[in-house]
Chain A
Amino acid sequence: MIIDINFIGLIIASIMASAVPLILASCGELITERSGVLNLGVEGMMIIGAISGFALMTVTGSLIIAVFGAMLAGVLISTIFAFLTQTLITNHVATGLALTIFGIGISAMIGKNFVGIPGKEFPVLFEGLKDTIPLLGPILFGHSIVFYFAFALPFITSYFLKKTKIGLIVRAVGDSPESASNQGINVKLVRYACILYGGAMSGLAGAYLSMIYTPQWIENMTGGRGWIALALVVFSTWNPIKILIGAMIFGGLTIIQFHMQAIGVRIPVQFLTALPYIVTIIVLVVISRDSRKIRLSTPSSLGKSFHKDN
């Protein structure tokens, strides 16, 4: 059997495409967690982004409005989370769960009128260059702007956290809110900002799913990707570059299902669908076993509320 080298390129490109929403949501959540906030509402924010993007695209016809609208929707819904956890000092885990349940409900409610409507074509960049280089052509060229942004994001995030002053402040707030506060940093303000940023990225991840990856609205279409994104943050030990690796592994697991079926491997389809979830668990176990390493890399105040008595 001769395998076309461009075919391999296409498979790698499809793995990358399915990694995009995971990268976006994980990098957003990573910043949130680095500031000491655990937001379990990623799945809810993502699905809100998905329906908002799709609905705005259908109603306004503008892709730009739709993409930014989805990010704004993510910001708005995460504001609820920020207000509750930061201003009213609620428990992060419970509030995040409420956000997910609420988000799935609201999205289905809004989405009722958008089921079965076909999506629009999303423009891709460098389409003409696809055939110029064997193997690398399909990998590098012919993707949406969101795709390129997603693959740049881990590096931007890493630079932001390590080299910029604001990045340093975020880390300080996450690792030691008390001393950051004593230095005159407004801990709650920083955390608010990080939560809203996480919301924007989850919203964008959702919009990518409903507008670019599978351009249509299906109820519950995020299908647990928000939770996998959360697991990826742990997997990365809060290092954005490693999110890239993790997301590619999970993208690969998703894509492999289709090809296994196409080749005719006789494994029940349910087993292949379950694979990403099972692998997530195994990966979490392997990463977490070294409790010292996890303790060193976890933001020290993660999930703990901070309240300054007046």
Chain B
Amino acid sequence: MIKIVKRDQPSRAIFFFTPVLAIFLTLVAGGLIFFILGFKPFEALKFFFIVPIADKYGFSELLLKATPLCLIAIGLSFCFKSNNWNIGAEGQLTFGAIVSGGVALLFYEQEGFYILPIVILAGAIGGMLYASIPAILKTYFNTNEILVSLMLVYVSKLILDYLVVGPWSNPEGFNFPETRQFSDSAKLPLLFEGLRIHAGIFLALAAVVISWFVFYKTYLGFQMKVSGFSLKTARYAGYKGKKMIILVFLISGACAGLAGVGEITGPIGQLHREISPDYGFTAIIVAFLGRLHPVGIIFASLVVAITYLGAETAQIFMQIPKYTGQVFQGMILFFLLASDYLLFFKIKFIGSKK
């Protein structure tokens, strides 16, 4: 007989084990889906998860996709830890890209070392501005941040669309929905000849280190943790709730904005209609899979980045639609949430032991 017993305390070992379990279960379920679709499960999984990163180029692509995911997820972990549901990182990424792209376009005929820092800063500010909308509405008007941040995603994409089709479109671009190419000084340098991985990865790594420091070494990190645990306790302890809400939104907006900068000043070097394949939404999964822990998020961003590459490879070699990537991402989160049950409950096999 099986009996389910509540644990006295959530198990710490299982806390870090369940993400691994979730990934494993996702692979099993994914294999099953491939089987139903009429593919050989192991071959399909190989195309999905191993072939894309088997060579140097593939590995560079993996890092290229993991960079924005990691950066955004780090920012989101500030929000999620303190119980703020910012799910509009995609919009903050887009708006950050718009602002930094606009600044880059101002300098399109100029070269100079000062251009890139200004462009990067502009992106962070753009993301912060956009994230401040749900934050301010939440703190001063009691408005649900989930819905506001999400609605703003649609708005940001329409603003981008308007700009690249209309006023910012390349005058010599034959009406393609894209801007001029930025000058080389406004582009993030590539790290290796022939590979697309660029210096944006250092922004992500810096975010990891800084967030680790803030979470575990500062009073702010402690306050966030308490607020996330219980808002009542936080209020009782006299924390300035409003200030913190705005702060965590600004941090996560800045991170998403920087991810936007990476997307447009990295390999592409211009603004166009689709700058992000929903990195902002996928990063939510990355943040959870990484257990809102900076190091965990690094691993999670690599794992989830594979689903993007795998979806592309599987589409080319097996004609599996690329949306399979999203299916995998949804499943990872389902399984992760489900296996969290083991954190709080023990499954006992009675009879075999006694």
Contact = CB atoms under 8 A, between A and B. Distances in A.
Interface in B218-236: none
Contacts of B151: 224, 227, 231, 277-278, 280-281
Interface of B: 6, 85, 87, 137, 141-144, 146-148, 150-152, 154-155, 158-159, 161-162, 165-166, 281-282, 284-285, 288, 321, 323-331, 333-334, 337-338, 340-341, 344
A98 B337 contact: yes
A116 to B, nearest CB: 14
A291 to B, nearest CB: 4
B333 A105 contact: no
A88 interface: yes
A90 B345 CA distance: 13
A271 B162 CA distance: 8
Contacts of A84: 334, 337-338
Contacts of B142: 288-289, 291, 294
A15 to B, nearest CB: 20
22 contacts: A88-B337, A88-B341, A89-B341, A90-B337, A94-B333, A97-B281, A98-B337, A99-B330, A101-B285, A102-B326, A102-B331, A105-B325, A105-B326, A112-B321, A224-B154, A234-B147, A270-B159, A270-B165, A273-B158, A278-B151, A288-B143, A289-B142
A274 interface: yes
Given A98-B330, A284-B144, A277 B154 contact: yes
Interface of A: 40, 80, 84, 88-91, 93-95, 97-99, 101-106, 108-109, 112, 219, 224, 227, 230-231, 234, 268, 270-271, 273-274, 277-278, 280-281, 284-285, 288-289, 291, 294, 309
B144 A289 contact: no
A271 B150 CA distance: 17
Contacts of B159: 270, 274
B337 A270 contact: no
Contact of B338 (A90, A97, A102): A90
A108 B329 CA distance: 14
A90 B334 CA distance: 9
Nearest to B134: A281
Contacts of A309: 6
A101 B326 contact: yes
Highest count of chain A CB atoms <10 Å: which of B141, B146, B285, B323: B323
